[in-house]
């Protein structure tokens, strides 16, 4: 089983500001918030990235979206709007190899862009 900073957060050996937990999912405030609300929603199963999800993981992926809606409501951003993001792999900007979704809101977020390279 892979050991990442997120598995240590989930098992409590690294502290976090928890906002939700059940048997399958752990959610906590991002340590370097990119928006007034920035929560990470993580399956406890250490799936390295979205590329590695299997059919057996589809329920928890759906549940993560349901938890995101619940947290958006609790954190006061459901009506104003928010973004749920997964970064996958190096080009996607993923830095922690344990699947996670960023819930961002609380301010008008910038337009989604790729990089500055030409795609012509």
Active site residues: 100
3-state secondary structure of 63: helix
Minimum gap (Å) between residue 95 Cβ and ligand AMP:
4
Alpha helices, DSSP H only, in 23-113?
Answer: 58-74, 89-92
Minimum gap (Å) between residue 82 Cβ and ligand AMP:
15
Pick 95 or 113: Cβ nearer ligand AMP: 95
Question: Contact residues for ligand AMP (CB under 6 A)?
Answer: 5, 14, 16, 30-32, 40, 87, 93-96
**Which two structure tokens, joined as six digits, stand for 66?**
């349901």
Minimum gap (Å) between residue 50 Cβ and ligand AMP:
11
Q: In what order do the strands lie in the sheet with 18-21?
A: 18-21, 25-29, 37-43, 101-105, 82-85
**Which two structure tokens, joined as six digits, stand for 57?**
């993981």
Pick 16 or 77: Cβ nearer ligand AMP: 16
Pick 32 or 113: Cβ nearer ligand AMP: 32
Rounded to whole angstroms, how far apart are CA atoms 114 and 99?
Answer: 21
């Amino acid at each position: 089983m892979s050991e990442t900073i997120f598995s240590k957060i989930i098992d409590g050996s690294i502290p976090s500001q928890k906002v939700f937990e059940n048997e399958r999912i752990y959610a906590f405030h991002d340590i370097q918030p990119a928006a007034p609300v920035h929560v990470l929603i993580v399956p406890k199963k250490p799936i390295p990235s979205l590329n590695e999800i299997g059919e057996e993981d589809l329920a928890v992926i759906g549940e993560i979206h349901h938890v995101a809606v619940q947290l958006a409501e609790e954190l006061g951003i459901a009506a104003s709007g928010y973004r749920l993001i997964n970064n996958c792999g190096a080009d996607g900007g993923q830095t922690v190899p344990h699947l996670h979704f960023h819930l961002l809101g609380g301010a008008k977020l910038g337009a989604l862009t790729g990089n500055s390279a030409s795609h012509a």
